[in-house]
Structure 1
Amino acid sequence: MAEVVKQVEAAAMVNQTDDAQRVIDGGGVEERENVGGEIDEENQKFSFKNFLWHGGSVYDAWFSCASNQVAQVLLTLPYSFSQMGMLSGLILQVFYGLLGSWTAYLISVLYVEYRSRREKEGASFKNHVIQWFEVLDGLLGPFWKGIGLGFNCTFLLFGSVIQLIACASNIYYINDHLDKRTWTYIFGACCATTVFIPSFHNYRIWSFLGLGMTTYTAWYLTIAALVHGQVPGVIHSGPKKLVLYFTGATNILYTFGGHAVTVEIMHAMWKPQKFKYIYLLATFYVFTLTLPSAAAVYWAFGDELLNHANAFSLLPRNGFRDAAVILMLIHQFITFGFACTPLYFVWEKVVGVHDTKSLCLRAVARLPVVIPIWFLAIIFPFFGPINSTVGAFLVSFTVYIIPTLAHMLTYRSAQARKNAAEKLPFFFPSWTVIYVFNAFIVMWVLVVGLGFGGWASMVNFIRQVNTFGLFAKCYQCKPPPAAPVH
């Protein structure tokens, strides 16, 4: 057998190290993917395996961003509208969606800056996935690395917890013979199989299917609510209490917080510098899903949603609803993988197996990551309120505050601005305007997101604990039938 191994120069940027080896065996060409998961787009030959498995184009990145941005939160947005009213719900969705797109842009700029500097120093990223905390370490030092690592990992941990809670909550509306806690046990075992997916490079078909599933669910919610019509005596009293208002606002802040996996999605691209506006375009599409569905369900059910965090619970059961539930379950499995994969990478680096090419060894090493996620989902099964709590204390920093401060500090000197790998976007005339805008984001999120949002979400979260208790067997389930009177 003749074996020829040659390195291919990646199309990502000048002097970028290729992360794939081409193995020629018996006249057939096989792409052997490494941990980093980058393959030269121009030299890649078509095969069915590559079509399903090797995704690194701008389209793959767009599908990944759009699919990851909205999952179970699609079902809690009507609940948020009932807390804060129709007008505030619509305005804040657009507001936080645009702010989130801007900070995702900042993260992409910092990634390109870090990679450009490191490659000029001769660094190679073969068999290595660059992550957000490494970007912060390379640009700002170990203190910022610790901050980024702590917030990012904690956010991804609870993001995975939320997906498990959502799986149990959704399946209950098809099969209520088992309580939600039992369903959490079952889906925890199912989601553990994501340890076998090597990197974001291998989510091509899953991202495509996931976005199709949320698209169906969003339009099912919209059409089903309009067909159902308003319930008799419907009341739209929101906003009625500050606690409810800021709890709902923080859930919307959480909605557009998929940034914890932005760097990993970029690193899986053949040309990462093309990522700059992908998140914004993905957000525009997400608006077509979240705005109509949340508004229609709130219009139909009004204040009834205050006691039903999951929109499925109020819609009549039929084949369309069951299909939406099943599709959301599959999508939540995919989103669980999205949230867990960066945690897998971090853990691999800790235990020293990140550079190995053995998928089985990496899968076994990843399993301990799933156990605390499983356990936390059983302790805090509060579908809806947990989103706001995570949004206030984790998304505020991970998505908005840390990226903006990191960008301001990285380019604080005239020399850094002059030698920036990415130039100013066309819609900002000067660095001064960018600094003012970034400072506004930091102050807004600190006061509204962390301050008022943190207060409101903790009050609401504690109320759920007092009402249902930790390890609640069936959160917001229908009461058991009354015993017959003799």
Structure 2
Amino acid sequence: MASEKVETIVAGNYLEMEREEGDSKSTKSRLSALFWHGGSVYDACCFSLRLCVMGNNGFTYAVCLFIWNYRTRKEREKVDFRNHVIQWFEVLDGLLGKHWRNVGLLFNCTFLLFGSVIQLIACASNIYYINDNFDKRTWTYIFGACCATTVFIPSFHNYRIWSFLGLMMTTYTSWYLTIASFIHGQVEGVKHSGPTKMVLYFTGATNILYTFGGHAVTVEIMHAMWKPQRFKLIYLTATLYVLTLTLPSASAVYWAFGDMLLNHSNAFSLLPRSGYRDTAVILMLIHQFITFGFACTPLYFVWEKFVGVHDTKSVCKRALARLPVVIPIWFLAIIFPFFGPINSTVGSLLVSFTVYIIPALAHMITFSSPSSRENAVERPPSFLGGWAGVYSMNAFVVGWILVVGFGFGGWASMLNFIQQINTFGLFTKCYQCPRKA
């Protein structure tokens, strides 16, 4: 009974919206509802799968618990969220105050900014292996203009068909890499030495941090769901599926090429060109376009709120207001086109705080008093050890990530990043491009 009451409270305004729009929905195109306006469990699953949200379900659970507490409190105060998207910094503000809000806003926006930069760099890196008539910098100009069209997509609700298609695309690409690597076989003299220096070890570790950091947009995805309290189960399901894609492909490519991957940030560059490879590249380009939109949408929301147009229903007015967000992303992708090293740098300096340290500390502080634990909308499950288990897990991860991820990882990733600048220079035209005969 208690969980049913919580579900009713959390989903409150969504249910009202459905009732209010019931009469008008019959006049809308069913195709529009099918492809454009999504908020179901399946949409959330596709969102999570598309973001490659691997592992760290404990942290996702902590974030979910924050959102439910914040939304429940606001629902009881009769706050209307129909034209307002809840974001992470607002949750921190509502539960912990403005100082936490400011810190969360700084790290989250910076991470999403560079996450969008990475997707744009990846677009240029991938398309080059189909058409090398243009250098990667020129392709960055082109795809920057293409990705700017995401300003016309209002919210995560409207990524329904894109999320589903993106899932199919990443599935194809992952299994292509697996099968193609086994068919290709091991290169002559292949070596699997692993990290031979501390710099390489911690650079790899921070790449894993970046890969595991996809739940930075958990709040916005949950808000897009009709029943956001179901997100934690969907996230777990997505995690298990994503592992079936990432582990086989990564293992197969490393088995075939070994240490060559240290100097080839893009695995497509090592596989022979074929129709299957070109198909995988094209699908990944579309995937990265969609992921650019996923990463940028929360930034759009923040900027809309800053300039005062977030509550307007005019798509064109909101799109025009969003354009300034794309310009610095475009510019940074041209300055730092270091596909690979930039991922580990973002992982160590930004993901460490955005995804791990800030949520863990906030969870510990929010539920430190007996009264706050008593009034929580949901208690931690027994298999996590209850409140004591979650508190211990948070404390351990804060210490571990601070020392290993931010400390040693930041040192290693910055050394690697500076080395790329010294080797290739800023604004390099074609990062890691093979020399033409």
**TM-score category (smaller protein):** over 0.9
User: 1:432-457 deviations in whole A, cap 9, x for unaligned?
Assistant: 12111110111111111111110110
1:270 aligns with 2:226: yes
Per-residue CA deviation, residues 192-235 of structure 1 (Å, 9 max, x unaligned), is 00001010011111111111101100000000000000011111
Q: What SS class does the counterpart of residue 114 from structure 2 fall into?
A: helix
Q: CA deviation at 1:69?
A: 2.1
Matched ranges for 1:50-199 at <5 A: 50-69=33-52, 97-98=54-55, 100-199=56-155
| 2:422 counterpart residue number | 466
In the alignment, the residues of structure 2 paired with residue 178 and residue 131 of structure 1 have an alpha-carbon distance, to the nearest angstrom, of: 39
Picking from 10, 19, 29, the partner of 1:13 is 10
- Residues 1:218 and 2:174 are matched in the alignment: yes
Change (3 A) 1:277 1:426: farther
- Equivalent in the alignment of 2:3: none
Matched with 1:91 is: none
Mapped contact 1:12–1:270 kept (Cα < 8 A): no
User: Identity of counterpart residues, as a percentage?
Assistant: 71
Contact 1:344 1:366 in 2 (8 A): yes
CA-to-partner distance for each residue in 1:250-297, whole Å, 9 max, x for gaps? 101110111221100000101011112222221111111111111111
SS in 1 for 2:21: strand
Alignment partner of 1:418 is 2:418: no
Residues 1:12 and 1:291: Cα distance change in structure 2 (over 3 Å): farther
Confirm whether residue 201 of structure 1 aligns to residue 184 of structure 2.
no
Q: Output one character per residue of 1:314-364: Cα deviation in whole Å (capped at 9) or x when no partner.
A: 000000000000000000000000000000000000111000000010011
The structure 2 residue matched to 1:282, chosen from 235, 238, 242, is: 238
1:330 and 2:330 matched: no
Contact in 2 for aligned 1:163/1:335 (Cα 8 Å): yes
Shift of 1:428: 2.5
Distance 1:235 1:430 in 2: 46
Secondary structure of the 2:148 match is helix
C-alpha distance in 2 between matches for 1:256 and 1:384: 15
Query: Against the structure 1 CA distance between its residues 479 and 126, is the aligned structure 2 distance closer, same or farther, given a 3 Å change threshold?
Result: same
Code of the aligned partner of 1:66: L
3-state SS of the aligned residue for 2:26? strand
Runs of 4+ in 1 over 3 A off after TM superposition: 10-21
Check conservation: 2:379, 2:386, Cα contact below 8 A: no
Which residue in 2 is equivalent to 1:48? 31
2:427 is the counterpart of 1:427: no
Q: Check the 8 A contact 1:105/1:279 in 2, yes or no.
A: no
Q: Secondary structure at the match of 2:51?
A: helix
Moved more, 289-298 or 12-21: 12-21
DSSP 3-state at the match of 1:277:
helix
Contact 2:379 2:387 (8 Å CA) reproduced: no
What amino acid is the match of 1:382? F
1:4-23: CA deviation from partner (whole Å, max 9, x where unpaired): xxxxxx96637436346427
> What CA distance in whole angstroms lies between the structure 1 residues aligned with 2:392 and 2:184?
47
- Once residues 303 and 432 of structure 1 are traced to their aligned partners in structure 2, the CA distance between those partners, rounded to angstroms, is 43
- Equivalent residue number for residue 390 of structure 1: 346
Relative to total residues, which structure has the larger helix share, 1 or 2?
2
Aligned to 2:4: none
How many Å separate the matches in 2 of 1:232 and 1:349?
A: 57
Report the more deviating stretch, 152-161 or 269-278.
Answer: 269-278
Which residue identity is paired with 2:37? H
TM-score by length of 1: 0.86
Distance 1:349 1:364 in 2: 14
Question: 2:206 maps to which residue?
Answer: 250
Shift of 1:169: 0.2
1:22 aligns with 2:5: no
Deviation at 1:49, TM superposition (A): 1.3
SS for the counterpart of 2:384 is coil
What is the rounded CA distance, in whole Å, between the counterparts of 1:23 and 1:16 in structure 2?
A: 14
Alignment partners' CA distance in 1, 2:294 and 2:173: 19
Q: What is the CA deviation profile of residues 97-124 of structure 1, one whole-angstrom value per residue up to 9, with x for unaligned ones?
A: 43x2211111111000000011112222
> Would you say the 8 A contact 1:56–1:269 is kept in 2?
yes
Q: Report the AA paired with residue 406 of structure 2.
A: L
Q: Shift in Å at residue 29 of structure 1?
A: 2.0
The answer on 1:237 being equivalent to 2:193 is yes
User: Unmatched 5+ residue regions in structure 1?
Assistant: 1-9, 32-45, 71-96, 482-486
The answer to whether the 8 Å contact 2:206/2:344 transfers is: yes
CA RMSD of aligned residues (A): 1.5
**Counterparts of 2:13 and 2:369 in 1: how far apart (Å)?**
27
CA distance in 1, matches of 2:35, 2:9: 22
> What is the rounded CA distance, in whole Å, between the counterparts of 1:59 and 1:23 in structure 2?
21
Amino acid at match of 2:34: F
Unaligned stretches of 5+ residues in structure 2: 1-6
* Closer/same/farther in 2, CA of residues 168 and 14 from structure 1, 3 Å limit: closer
> 1:29 is matched by which residue type in structure 2?
S
